[in-house]
Structure 1
Amino acid sequence: MPQKKSTENESAFKNWINEALVRRMAAHIQQHYPSFDSKAFIKVSHELPQLEMKPRMRLICDFLKAHLPADYPKALKLLLKATMKPKSGVEPLKGFDLWAFTEFVQRYGLEHFDESMNALHTLTQKFTAEFAVRPFIIHDQEKTLQQLMLWTQDPSEHVRRWVSEGTRPRLPWGELLRSFIKDPSPALALLEELKFDESLYVRKSVANHLNDITKDHPELVIKTLKRWLKNCPKEHKTKIDWITRHALRTQVKAGNPKALQLLGYHTDADVKLHDLTLAPKTVMTGEHLKLSFSLSSAKNATVVVDYAIHYKKSNGSHSAKVFKLSNKDLKAKERMDFTKKHSFRPVTTRVLYPGAHIVEIFVNGKSLGKASFILK
């Protein structure tokens, strides 16, 4: 009888947390803590394939907690030593290899603030501590923000970026910071110190942080960006212009007129959609849909053009996802053509269901027209 094919996605990110990683971790820890039970650790890793990502991480952290010294500061020092340059022949721990270490800090280190925050300061320069700092903000917001404010001036761009990323109210994959969702002003004070940062890596986080805030307080972000644009020195203008464009992307897609005006788009433009065409009318999963159309305006207009795919859901309803197309200057009474190929290749972040789907064209956040197609 032929073996049944597994439906498991071998490239799923959770599969990075595997026995090979556990073996590397064991080798590094045992160099500095000879009594560490590497054999038992490796044996526990055999349970990982049956678990999803977060349970895998919890299993590793539970083992570390049980087999490292009971004294948290001592255990933490051992983990930090394990991140240092290893003996020859041992592959170093780096990047996502260290996620379990930051998880260890956030789960067991809340009562050891100084040791934990200094450890996260070290680890974020090797991986990222943006998730791990959030329980500390929730546990003692004032004390944590005081420390993060000092680190807005840190020499490492990784640390400065961490200050912004770790305090985002709606960080993807991260625990919600509900106090900042309600009142983002304490975190905004950190962004004030980072807005002119020389590192694009840091400024990108500032923009993403502001974009988070726009989902609950769009007027506050627009007011803040207006002030930054008005008061910034000439040598920093390009930085604030860049932050403004990226911070307002959600509001632009939503057609917020104040956001569009701040970015120089003509919200009063009389733009017309012509000849919206989809090809093919029936798209096979794994193939592309080509959309074509033209735009015209009665007068010169600067516009942002987006399109939405209304994906069919399992219950037969539709859910729209907006995609960026382009920013253009339309000349009065002239048509401008647009084309876009959209892939329907299966991805882990979206399940594709067969049936009727819809394409919708937006200009400056306003819907100008729709057309349908079939996905098989």
Structure 2
Amino acid sequence: MGAFDEFIGRETVAELRGVLTAVRPDRPWSALGAVHGSLPGHALKARSDLVATALVDDLDGEYVTAAAVFRAALGDPGFRGWTIWPVTESAVTLALADGSVAAFDDALALLSELTHRLTAEFAIRRLLAADLDRSLEAVVSWATSADEHVRRLASEGTRPYLPWAVRVPALLPRSRDLVPVLDRLRDDESEYVRRSVANHLNDVSRHDPDLVVEVARRWSADVDAPRTRAWVVRHALRSLVKKGDPGALEVLGFRPHAVSLSKPAVSAPVVVPGAATFSFDVRNDGDEEARLVVDYVVHYRKANGSTSPKVFKLTTVTLAAGESRSFRAVHAFRPLTTRTHYAGEHSVQSQVNGVRSEATPFDVEL
């Protein structure tokens, strides 16, 4: 286990137990006191789940009791940090077990009160899954909160593909319903909130790229938009730009141009760990200057012999009419936890404004 997992460890759990004991000294908090022995060997999320289960046990399975204890604990400035994650998860578990509308609504309110102590973005997912419409009513109201953490929760908690979080499939076809929330937050005074908005839209681009381009185009057309808007749009479109989506590129000012690009020359073979050097030329064949996004695409060999493409950013340039320019990239091939290399034929393409060259094959040796 890595150091990151220790964010929920013996010391932090002991601190949480101390805070809760100060609120309710009549409770032994025995499950919380014992859970630290179960944490070693588990990753952070699993540790959160173990602590949340201990909290549910110590609170006798009663949501009303849990809500009162957690709200009282907010009076202690030490009630913050990574143990807030299992606190929010235990509250949701108890609210859903309660089954009443009152408990459900109060759990939403409680998450908005707790989120500034770490985040409630993970816990809200199960409420969204249980009753999406009711949850979204709260989300809409959070977008106008005076608290930046609550405003961020409105965007971050409803991201379609939030990392580490429970998937909520029903969110995907409702992406358009959340656009008014993102409209409200796109120019937020907090960079923390604006970044969440951009990440939310980038998530949506995975299943509804047309909607994202539509929103980005509308946001970009506003002549009175603050300077921060342009960054939000660029960050929201980053995945579509890497894929060469014509609409996304056009929103950012990269229009189709008459451009010639050579297929890459490759220094090969490549021996892992090692690197390959790719070089290629781009020429503007048009009669006006051209703004270009220049990338390259590596087609990695998979275990079954097929290949999988991945786009890598290189640069953005402006070429005058008739101008040519050469580009060079040194691409590392080394063992990664996120990628296993396989020996055999790979290939690479140059890519300009989403248009790809002919592929150049090359061999990788292990």
Is 1:133 the equivalent of 2:120? Answer: no
**2:245 corresponding residue in structure 1:** 256
Distance 1:361 1:123, change over 3 A: farther
The answer to whether the 8 A contact 1:312-1:318 is kept is yes
Distance across 2 between alignment mates of 1:339 and 1:281: 17
The answer to whether the 8 A contact 2:48-2:86 is kept is yes
Is 1:19 the equivalent of 2:5? Answer: no
Pairwise CA distance, 1:124: 1.6
Is 1:180 the equivalent of 2:168? Answer: no
Is 1:34 the equivalent of 2:25? Answer: yes
Where in structure 2 are the equivalents of 1:194-233 lying within 5 Å? Answer: 194-230=185-221, 232-233=222-223
Distance 1:105 1:292, change over 3 A: farther
Is 1:102 the equivalent of 2:88? Answer: yes
Q: Which amino acid aligns with 1:122?
A: E
Pairwise CA distance, 1:267: 1.9
**2:284 corresponding residue in structure 1:** 297
Distance across 1 between alignment mates of 2:310 and 2:75: 43
Distance 1:372 1:164, change over 3 A: same
Pairwise CA distance, 1:187: 0.9
Pairwise CA distance, 1:281: 3.8
5+ residue gaps, structure 1:
1-9, 87-91
Pairwise CA distance, 1:66: 0.7
The answer to whether the 8 A contact 1:95-1:127 is kept is yes
Where in structure 2 are the equivalents of 1:1-376 lying within 5 Å? Answer: 10-11=1-2, 13-37=4-28, 40-82=31-73, 84-85=75-76, 92-110=78-96, 111=100, 112-230=103-221, 232-234=222-224, 236-273=225-262, 276-278=265-267, 281-285=269-273, 289-299=276-286, 300-344=289-333, 346-348=335-337, 350-356=338-344, 357-368=346-357, 369-374=359-364, 376=366
The answer to whether the 8 A contact 2:21-2:27 is kept is yes
Distance across 2 between alignment mates of 1:365 and 1:200: 30
Distance across 2 between alignment mates of 1:184 and 1:227: 16
5+ residue gaps, structure 2:
none
The answer to whether the 8 A contact 1:291-1:339 is kept is yes
Distance 1:338 1:28, change over 3 A: farther
1:29-58 Cα shifts (integer Å, max 9, x gaps): 222222444565343322223445444322
Q: Which amino acid aligns with 1:125?
A: H
Distance across 1 between alignment mates of 2:275 and 2:79: 40
Distance across 2 between alignment mates of 1:25 and 1:13: 18
The answer to whether the 8 A contact 1:307-1:361 is kept is yes
Percent identity at matched positions?
Answer: 34
Pairwise CA distance, 1:192: 2.0
Pairwise CA distance, 1:163: 0.7
Report how many aligned residue pairs link the two structures: 357
Q: Which amino acid aligns with 1:66?
A: D
SS where residue 226 of structure 1 aligns?
helix
Distance across 2 between alignment mates of 1:96 and 1:289: 42
Pairwise CA distance, 1:64: 0.8
Distance 1:11 1:55, change over 3 A: closer
The answer to whether the 8 A contact 2:300-2:307 is kept is yes
Computed over aligned residues only, the root mean square deviation of the Cα atoms, in angstroms, reads 2.8
Pairwise CA distance, 1:59: 1.9
Distance across 2 between alignment mates of 1:333 and 1:297: 5
Distance across 2 between alignment mates of 1:312 and 1:128: 39
The 10-residue stretch of structure 1 (337-346 or 237-246) with the greater mean CA deviation from structure 2:
337-346
- TM-score, scaled to structure 1: 0.83
1:258-304 Cα shifts (integer Å, max 9, x gaps): 222222113233231365334x743443x555444432221332111
1:307-344 Cα shifts (integer Å, max 9, x gaps): 33334444444333323222211233333233444445
The answer to whether the 8 A contact 1:19-1:42 is kept is no
